[in-house]
Amino acid sequence: MKKSLQANTSQCVAIVEKFEKKERSWFPTSHIPTDLIIHVQDINFYVHKLPLISKSEYLSDLLKSRSVQSNSAGFDIKLDNFPGGAETFEIVIKFCYGFSVDLMASNVAPVRCASEFLQMTEEYEEGNLISKTESFIAFIVLSSWRDSITLMKSCESLSPWAENLQILRRCTDAVALKIIRRTSMCNDTDYDGERWWFDDVSILCINHFVRIITAITAKGSKPEIIGASIMHYAKKWLPGMEGLQGQKEYGNRSNELHMTILSGKGEEGSAGEEKEQRRMIEVLVSILPPQREAVPCKFLLSMLKMALVYTATPALVSELEKRVGMVLGDATVNDLLIPSYNNGTEGKLGRSIHNASAFLSITNLFYGWRSPSKERTMHDVDVVQRIVEYFLMHEQQLQQQQSNVGKLLDGYLTEIARDLNLSISKFQALAEVLPQDARTCHDGLYRAIDTYLKTHPTLMEHDRRRLCKAMDCEKLSLDACMHAAQNDRLPLRTVMQVLCSEQIKMRAAMNGKGPTQHDIICEQNNTWSTKKEIRNIICELQKIRASIEELQHDYSQLQQEFEKVNKQKNVFGWSSGWKKFKTSTLFQGKINGVDTTNVNAQGQPGQTRVSDKNVRRRRQSIS
């Protein structure tokens, strides 16, 4: 029986010269009419059943179970969920008819899954398709880096067949092994050599990318390399990542993100894309190495912004905030400027905006021009406050980075102080979140408070005093004290404290004492004034110093003149000297507090009186 089947099959195969495809139909050219129609997707295959049942046990059992035959056209079968689709089934048909089949890395996985679907085993027919595809994968594909990546790419639409047949596992192991071997041969300074595989792996879907990252992590790859590969993948597949990491100065930033997610797409497609982007963010964050040096703070903040845009889960947002808090000292002010993505009435910014006015409002929000509503701030201050609180939980890191974080927070406060909708309670809470010893100099905090007072001129006096409590006037530099003493926006109590601090610093400067360690730090960290203000203050200080030196010189000359006069014991000689001294320019121009009206007519000196008020004034000016 089997020999007869093989003979009939050989007869059908021998008279088939080629295959033709017309519109949605596919059939072999043969004088023997076809007796089987197989529907795969939207393609109809007109074939002979004998070549197929000789190779496929599945089709053989299916045709045997049919009790009722169709018309002259033969059997009619529909294959649902066929792996690889019509293109792969065409390759299988050619194999069954004995034509040569070109297996490649791009089609061997679908053919392998299709042969498993059709049960084309060695037990049913020797030299069947399963064994041929397995040999090709094991000996040809997995030995090549490029073919292995291509094979994994082709498996993206073959779930769960590729998973069940262990194709993905074997391919993942081969790729990970090649990465580890080649990377281990590179020097620590050869960054390009360690990152040679980033571009190839980034073409894979997120699930397959995660498999490779998990595999190389288990094999002991360095956290920096794994983190760099995740960053490379995120920049490729998450729209707007480059714009978020490349933000420029406040108010003049170029951000691609809002243009991408607010593009005019259909609502259903946009919702599906938003869901996929959200899942990708969650997966990438879940595979980030726990080490602090794995990824920079800028990337973590960019991922946090993306998570807020696509309304990720609160657990994911909290995880990112904690990780940013661990490396907050490496951030910049522009990195912390997180726009308020929550629109209040519409919770998801990632959906398409069909209303032109709404689109304009969101665009203005992203560029930091003006808040679209009177209650909502331009920046998400609550997120930054939580990040700082997470930073404070790590006491060891606080000791190492508190100075940097203090300057960073002062710069951030200065930027958000320009927001008209920022409440004084939020500003004060963020200004006081750091401990007292976190700031060695309060010049930056003073500038932030002054900016807030300038932006909110209608604040009541008690609100101004409440706001200035966060600032320690004793930690202001001399330049900042001189600026604050003339600042009419500050409350009177704060101005008095500043004047006292300024007087102490001025007295120390005039006594010739060197600057203290605090003054040196303040001078190094002075960011409150502009270059023009600094130049003006330096000129004023130089003038004051010159006046002090002139007064000291005049005082010494005056003292010498008096000493000469006292040494003259002859009355007439003394009188003559007194007349010369009296008519001297120095005496007439400098001594305004001496009363010489009590000199007698003979030129004898009477009792000389000196105004106590003028003497005290002279002493104060000299001291």
The domain segmentation of the chain, as residue ranges, is: 1-153, 166-243+276-310, 332-342+374-514
**Calpha distance 154→139 (Å, rounded):** 18
Determine contact, residues 454/418, Cβ cutoff 8 Å.
no
Which pLDDT does position 3 carry in this prediction?
A: 47
Q: 160 preceded by cis ω (within 30°)? A: yes
* pTM for the whole structure: 0.72
Q: What share of the chain is helix, strand, coil (3-state, %, to 5)?
A: 60, 5, 35
Which pLDDT does position 513 carry in this prediction?
A: 57
CATH class belonging to 1-153: alpha beta
- Residue ranges of the chain with per-residue pLDDT less than 70: 1-17, 67-74, 188-191, 242-270, 342-375, 395-400, 509-537, 568-623
Which pLDDT does position 609 carry in this prediction?
A: 44
Closest by CA position to 444, among listed 401, 465, 415, 469: 415
Hey, what amino acid is at 391?
F
**Calpha distance 515→374 (Å, rounded):** 47
Angle, alpha carbons 280-283-296 (nearest 5°): 95
Residue with tokens 């089709």: 59
Residue 188 CB burial class (10 angstroms; 0-12, 13-18, ≥19): exposed
Angle, nearest 10°, between helix axes 267-286 and 223-237?
170
Which pLDDT does position 371 carry in this prediction?
A: 40
75-79 and 36-40 strand pairing: parallel
Which pLDDT does position 351 carry in this prediction?
A: 40
Which pLDDT does position 475 carry in this prediction?
A: 87
Which pLDDT does position 518 carry in this prediction?
A: 53
Angle, alpha carbons 475-333-236 (nearest 5°): 160
Which pLDDT does position 357 carry in this prediction?
A: 36
The arrangement of strands across the sheet holding 43-47 comes to 19-22, 25-28, 43-47, 36-40, 75-79
Which pLDDT does position 14 carry in this prediction?
A: 52
Alpha carbon of residue 597 to chain centroid = 81
Question: Helices H, strands E: what count in the chain?
Answer: 32, 7
**Calpha distance 163→159 (Å, rounded):** 6
Determine contact, residues 455/419, Cβ cutoff 8 Å.
yes
Residue with tokens 């990542």: 241
**Calpha distance 255→238 (Å, rounded):** 13
Determine contact, residues 350/361, Cβ cutoff 8 Å.
no
Residue 71 CB burial class (10 angstroms; 0-12, 13-18, ≥19): exposed
Which pLDDT does position 16 carry in this prediction?
A: 67
